[in-house]
Structure 1
Amino acid sequence: MKWFVTLKTKFKDRFFKSNLKESLVNLEKGKELYSTSRFQEAIVHLDNVVNYEFDSTAYELRASCFQKLDHHYKAIEDFDKVIEFNPLEFSYYYHRAVSKKAIFDFTGQIEDLHNCIHYYKKNKNIEIGLLKTFETDLITAGNHIEKLKHNISSFHNNSYLEIKTLLSDCLYQIKKIKLRANKIRTPFRQIKKEELSSIINPET
C-alpha cells in the first residue's frame, strides 16, 4: 500500500509542476499579447492562469485588457481581487475609478479616488502632474453628481452630503500634498544656490 501512496504523491507533484509551468507560459504569452494591444487574445491566456491559481499579476493584466475593450464591469471585478491582495497600492484604486466612471458610478469613482490619494500621499516622490489628474477627475465627478442630485436622493447608499464631504476632503488632501511637495523642493533649491554662490565667491 505504501508504494501506491508514494506513486500517487509523485504523480501529484509532477502534475502540479506541469500546471505551474503551463501557467507561467500563459502569463508570459498574456504579457506579450497585451504589449502588442491584442487584448482579446491576451485574455484567453490570462484566463488559463487565473483558472489554475490566484496570480495578482494575471488579474491586474486581465483587468487592464477588459478596460481597453470597454468591459468595465469585468475590469472592476478583477481590480477588486487585486486590491484585496494588495490594498496599499494607490494605482489600483485609480484604475478601478476609471472603470467606475465609465459605468457612471460617480460615487464609486470618488470613493476610489479618495483611497488612491490616501495611499499616494505616503509616496516619497510626489508628481504634481499626477495630482492634477486626480484633481481634474474629482472635479468632473463632482459636476456629474451636481447634475444628478435633483433626480435621485441617494447615490449607492450614500447621501449627497456625504459624497460632497468626501469630494471636499479629497481636494483638500491634494492641496496639502502639493504644499508639502513644494516645501520639500524649495529648501533644496535654496541650499544648492547658496553652495554654488560660495564656490563662485569663496571670500564672501
Structure 2
Amino acid sequence: MNWFSNLFKKKTKNNTSNDNSDSEWDAFISFARGEKYFFNSEWNDALYHFDKAIEKDYKKDDIFELRGMCLQALGYDYDAIEDFNKAIIFSPNNCNLYYNRALSKEVILDYEGEIKDIEKAIELSKQDTQMNRQYNKEAIDSGFRNGVVGLYEIGILRVKSRLEFDNREMNKDYCEEQLKLIKRR
C-alpha cells in the first residue's frame, strides 16, 4: 500500500510541474502575440498581450522595453517611464532604453531628467558593443551620419533649445505683467 501512496504523490508532483510549464508556455504565447502586434504597430493589442505575459510571470528581459514603447505610443508616458526603469535594471548598458525614457520625460516636461537620460545614452552609445554597432548601423541607414550618437546629440540640442525658448517666454510674460502694473499706477 505504501508504494501506491508514493506513486500517487509522484503524479501530483509531476502534475504541478506540468502546470508550471503550461503557465510558462502560456506566458510565452502571450509575449509572442504581443510582439506580433507590436511589430505591426497595433499598440493596444500588443499592450494587452504583454500585460498578460507579465501577469503570467514571463521572464524575458525585453518585455518591459517593448511594453514601455507601447505605453509611450499610446500616450501613457508616466507608465512608460516605469517600464523603462524596469528594463534598465535588466539591461543597464542599453543606451536606447535611456533615450526612450528621455522621450517620455520630454512629454511630461521633466527637462532635467530628459537631459540626464540623453547624456547617459550618449555616454553608453560610445562603447564598442554588438548592440551599439547595430544601433549605429540603423541610425546611419536612417540618415544620421554620426550614427546613434548624432541622433542623441540632436535630442540634447532640441531640449536645450526648448528650455531657452521657455525661459524667454517666461521672461517676456513677466515683463509684460510688470509693464501692465506700471501703467496702472
Normalised by the length of structure 1, the TM-score is 0.67
124-133 vs 81-90, which moves further: 124-133
* Alpha carbons of structure 1 residues 132 and 36: separation in structure 2 relative to 1, 3 Å: same
Cα root mean square deviation, aligned: 2.2
> 2:150 maps to what in 1?
132
Tell me what 1:66 maps to. Answer: 71
**Which residue in 2 is equivalent to 1:142?**
160
Quick check: 2:105–2:114 contact (8 Å CA) kept in 1? yes
On the 8 A contact 1:79/1:96 being kept in 2, the answer is yes
CA offset digits 1:108-148 (Å, max 9, x no partner): 11111111111111126455043222222112212333434
Count of residue pairs brought into register by the alignment: 151
- How far is the alpha carbon of 1:24 from its aligned partner? 1.1
Identity of aligned residues (%): 25
Partners of 2:79 and 2:45 lie apart in 1 by: 16
Conservation of the 8 A alpha-carbon contact between 1:49 and 1:55: no
Matched, 1:86 2:68: no
Give the C-alpha shift of residue 15 in structure 1: 0.8
2:115 alignment partner, one of 110, 118, 134: 110
- Contact 2:64 2:86 survives alignment (8 Å): yes
1:76 aligns with 2:94: no
Residues 26 and 56 in structure 2, CA contact (< 8 A), matched pair in contact too:
no
Name stretches of at least 5 consecutive residues in structure 1 with no aligned partner: 152-204
Q: Which residue of 2 aligns with 1:36?
A: 40
| Contact 1:106–1:144, Cα closer than 8 Å, also in 2 | no
1:15 to 8, 19, 22: 19
Tell me, yes or no, if structure 1 residue 49 matches structure 2 residue 67.
no
Query: Relative to structure 2, which stretch is displaced further, 126-135 or 73-82?
Result: 126-135
1:10, distance to aligned residue in structure 2 (A): 1.5
The structural deviation recorded for 1:5 is: 4.4
Deviation of the 1:91 alpha carbon: 0.9
